[in-house]
C-alpha cells in the first residue's frame, strides 16, 4: 500500500475536478465566441439584421476570456497538484496556500457572466 494513499487520492480527485471545470469553462467560451454562427444558421435571412444589428466583438472577447481562464486554471491546477503531492510526503507542517485563487477565479467568471448578461440585454431587449 502507498503511504498516505487517501491523501494522494484526494489530491488527484481535486486536480481532476479542476481540470473538468477548466474544460467546461473553455467549452462555454467557445460556445459564446461562436454563437453568431448559430444565429446566422438558425435565423431567417430577413430577421438576422434585427437579431444582431451590432458587432459581435464583445461576444468574441468574452469567449476568448473564458478560454484563457480555462487554460490558466489548468496550469495552476497542475502546479497545485505537484506542490500538494510533495507536501503530503513531508512530515513537516506547512501553511495552506489559501483560497485566493479559488475566490479570484469565481469573481472573474462571475464578472464575465454579469457582463454577458448585460450584453444580451442590450442585444436582445434594447435592440431596435
pLDDT tens digits for 39-94?
A: 666 655 555 555 554 557 777 888 888 899 899 989 989 998 998 889 888 888 77
Is there a domain that residue 48 lies in?
A: no
Is there a domain that residue 96 lies in?
A: yes
Is there a domain that residue 49 lies in?
A: no
Is there a domain that residue 24 lies in?
A: yes
Least reliable range by pLDDT among 15-24, 30-39, 53-62: 53-62
Is there a domain that residue 76 lies in?
A: yes
Structural domain including 31 reads 5-42+55-125
Number of domains in the chain: 1
Confidence (pTM): 0.72
In angstroms, the CA 120 to CA 98 distance is: 35
In angstroms, the CA 29 to CA 4 distance is: 38
Neighbours of 93 (CB within 10 A): 6
Is there a domain that residue 117 lies in?
A: yes
Is there a domain that residue 100 lies in?
A: yes
Is there a domain that residue 115 lies in?
A: yes
Q: Is the dihedral of CA 20, 22, 28, 30 positive or negative?
A: negative
Amino acid at each position: 500500500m502507498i503511504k498516505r494513499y487517501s491523501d494522494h487520492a484526494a489530491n488527484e480527485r481535486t486536480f481532476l475536478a479542476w481540470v473538468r471545470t477548466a474544460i467546461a469553462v473553455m467549452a462555454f467560451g467557445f460556445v459564446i465566441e461562436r454563437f453568431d454562427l448559430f444565429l446566422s444558421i438558425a435565423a431567417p435571412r430577413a430577421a438576422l439584421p434585427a437579431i444582431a444589428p451590432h458587432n459581435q466583438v464583445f461576444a468574441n472577447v468574452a469567449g476568448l476570456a473564458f478560454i484563457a481562464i480555462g487554460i490558466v486554471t489548468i496550469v495552476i491546477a497542475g502546479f497545485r497538484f505537484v506542490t500538494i503531492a510533495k507536501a503530503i510526503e513531508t512530515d513537516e507542517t506547512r501553511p495552506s496556500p489559501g483560497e485566493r485563487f479559488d475566490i479570484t477565479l469565481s469573481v472573474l467568471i462571475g464578472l464575465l457572466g454579469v457582463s454577458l448578461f448585460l450584453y444580451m440585454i442590450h442585444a436582445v431587449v434594447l435592440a431596435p
